[in-house]
Chains A and B, each alone.
Chain A
């Protein structure tokens, strides 16, 4: 029994026995109010429909997407107020409304409405994030007020939306040499073709070599047609990202978030420039990416959508290392295809893993050490001193505002 109910009964009894009608009236009023509250609370949030929809589930850093929140009171009675607290993970920003701290200390997007019978209200916000990562909206906690605007019922609905913010990319130089004839390399656009990968025929054009004429197809069609082949795809690049940005053991979870984000922006920019140059690019890193494996890995490919897959993986990567980088390089040494160029991207002194890089070289893969930390030039010099090809790249400002990536050493 509630306090008001107890008081109501007490007043009713006292007023009845002492013959004071005022007390009886007040007692009955309290009890009637209490009954109305009980009836109101019993239905709770049964006929309240809450939906949340994100227009996109993948964003580039700096982009925003629309978030549509809809509430629908399907009752025949009005609701004095209804509050929805959408839990938001750290880093989520809503343009139109600041997030508030809920009672449990979570950051929430708070919406409150007063709803007439059968009223549906749709609100639109714009959501973004302050850094790359996987962000979560939900679950939603709903609270509803009774007729007297007192909290009547609350429940948590397991309504969760995720969205992924890819790292920022800036203009970056192509770190590898231009295509050469023959060998493992290839031209930009089909200049070098792979004769083992037949891709169909086309009409003969003046200037086409006679030896490329497809005799059987030409005879069948009654006009000369020329054989076509897929361009060669033998320049493969595997970017190995060293997530650890400071010297020391890998299990030391203390990390500089800005340095890690700079590293990811650098990795994304390099990957995008290589894919733009039609190289087949893969990625491996010592970071958690939401799967059981301690190493994040994307196989080398130049297929359509590889840029998006690669940026998605970079978005999912944790900011702290999942394992020593040397262990990752050991795995790479066992699995890398000969002829592949392994771009080792690190923001720290490469000395601890130079021996592993030599092991990869012995497998027939080329190594390019790219340093990007504050001691980048010195780190690159150390790699060169060890006989490895090395570059030092730097953003021309903080990662949030930088415009390009430049080779400085």
Chain B
């Protein structure tokens, strides 16, 4: 028995109910996804300061999870005061994230506040991670929050990567490698979490449980794995090929466009665009090359040894982490499906796997098309029945005799007397045990040729 709930907010008593596994699993995934994109921001801040990143995805995951737990436990108790408490918790988390860096702590102990503030600026994103935890504290997971995270997160990550790509080496390579791993973790976890959240949202209160549909979860995992695999494998080739292809195509398209559709307004726009491009070129040319970073800016006193300028290297570094992350997710989901909690079955429903009359595959269809030409009346009738089997309006139904089938088609205007005669021939041979003459067999084959072309079009 179910109860009808809508989108109404839960009373406080319901907020304190035990968390079900079904609700926690998508939240766990989204927590990792949140940590992934926050780590990219932290890495970007570190890169801009020409420092190596300190907070990785695992640490930030802990901060996001802390935010979820804090919001779940403290918000109902504090009521309106929760806003201030949440702000304080975020700031404290940011402080903790900043002080995780040994250099920052050392500078603080030396009372060198200026140096301390300059160290590990990316650590402050721990506060952002806790804040994102607050946003995902609602159980079941809000589909809208999750969808917004993915929709804004993917272009956002790409934008940060594009901007971060302008920084000098070796920080650029480190940042891009980390960003790649974080991006794919973000996409994988976010996609899973969003799919679960959507399903949970749509099937709320009607016993829809993703653990019941293992084939879907498996297929989703395979799709995510394939998509990331294809992307990683082809990124280098595609990235190199597109500028070349567009460069080749641009000239002809431009000429064709100018020839076909130029007016005064279009010429004016082209002129403005060209002027803008020249201006940007002049500005960039006068600024000169980007300066290399000073050696003392590297933590630990040495220069990074990995130049990581080659996209293939970046993809290789990231790819291993991605594969490990996705496999870990699949293993976790497999464990969750099999071991944790019984599936809440609907007492009113019966589930069966029913293959029925399986749809004809392309291979089967081609085999049918290759059927040899019949030589006798019975073979001609069977060949015809086989050929019209996939046509719902003219095929012979399981309960129909050949004569009934022929009569129905004639009544519907689909067939004519030749089908009746062919069916009669078949009945005489198969049911009556008669042997037809060679002349009648030839007539039957001729009828088959006519009928297959007529009924085959229906």
Listed in ascending order, the chain A residues whose CB lies under 8 Å from chain B are: 3-4, 7, 10-30, 32-33, 36, 47, 72, 74, 77-81, 83, 96-98, 100, 110-125, 145, 147-150
Contacts and interface: CB of A to CB of B under 8 A. Distances in A.
B77 interface: no
B349 A123 contact: yes
B208 interface: yes
The 4 closest A-B pairs by CB, nearest first: A98-B4, A149-B198, A28-B231, A78-B216
Contact of B346 (A79, A123, A145): A123
Which of A3, A98, A147 is packed against the most chain B CB atoms within 10 Å? A147
B219 A100 contact: no
Contact of A149 (B195, B227, B241): B195
Contact of B216 (A20, A100, A114): A114
A20 B199 contact: no
B220 A26 contact: no
B311 A120 contact: no
23 contacts: A10-B155, A14-B162, A15-B161, A16-B241, A17-B242, A22-B180, A28-B230, A29-B187, A32-B231, A79-B216, A81-B199, A81-B202, A96-B2, A98-B4, A100-B4, A114-B208, A121-B350, A122-B350, A122-B352, A124-B349, A147-B195, A148-B194, A148-B195
Contacts of B157: 22, 26
A24 B162 CA distance: 10
Interface in B347-373: 348-356, 359
Contacts of A30: 154
A114 B210 contact: yes
Contact of B203 (A14, A81, A116, A118): A81
A77 B227 CA distance: 18
Contacts, number: 203
A115 B199 CA distance: 12
B79 to A, nearest CB: 32
Contacts of B315: 21, 25
B235 A80 contact: no
| Best-buried of B154, B176, B187, B241 by chain A (most CB within 10 Å) | B154
Interface in B184-201: 184, 187, 191, 194-196, 198-199
A13 B227 CA distance: 18
A26 B203 contact: no
B332 to A, nearest CB: 19
Contacts of B356: 72, 74, 118
Contact of A25 (B6, B191, B194, B235): B235
Interface residues of B, number: 70
Contacts of B212: 114
A147 B219 contact: yes
Given A81-B199, A111-B206, A21 B213 contact: no
B292 interface: no
Contact of B351 (A12, A100, A119): A119
Q: Which of B158, B246, B351, B353 has the most CB of A within 10 A?
A: B158
B276 interface: no
Contacts of B355: 118
Interface string B387-411: 0000000000000000000000000
A103 to B, nearest CB: 13
A24 B196 CA distance: 27
Interface of B: 1-4, 6, 151, 154-155, 157-158, 161-162, 165, 176, 179-180, 183-184, 187, 191, 194-196, 198-199, 202-203, 206, 208-210, 212-216, 219-220, 223, 226-228, 230-232, 234-236, 238-243, 246, 311, 314-315, 318, 346, 348-356, 359
Contacts of B183: 22, 25-26
Given A12-B242, A116-B214, A21 B348 contact: no
Contacts of A10: 155
B162 A15 contact: yes
Given A20-B165, A145-B198, A7 B359 contact: no
B353 A74 contact: no
A21 B242 CA distance: 13
A145 B231 CA distance: 24
Given A118-B355, A122-B350, A28 B238 contact: yes
B203 A12 contact: no
Given A15-B158, A15-B239, A29 B227 contact: yes
A120 B354 contact: yes
Given A17-B243, A148-B194, A114 B235 contact: no
B216 A118 contact: no
B202 A83 contact: yes
Contacts of B239: 15-16, 19, 21, 24
Interface centre among A14, A16, A18, A114 (most CB of B within 10 A): A114
Contact of A32 (B194, B199, B230): B230
Contacts of B215: 78, 116-117
Contacts of B351: 119-121
Contacts of A79: 213, 216
A114 B165 contact: no
A52 B407 CA distance: 31
Contacts of A19: 165, 239, 311
B84 to A, nearest CB: 37
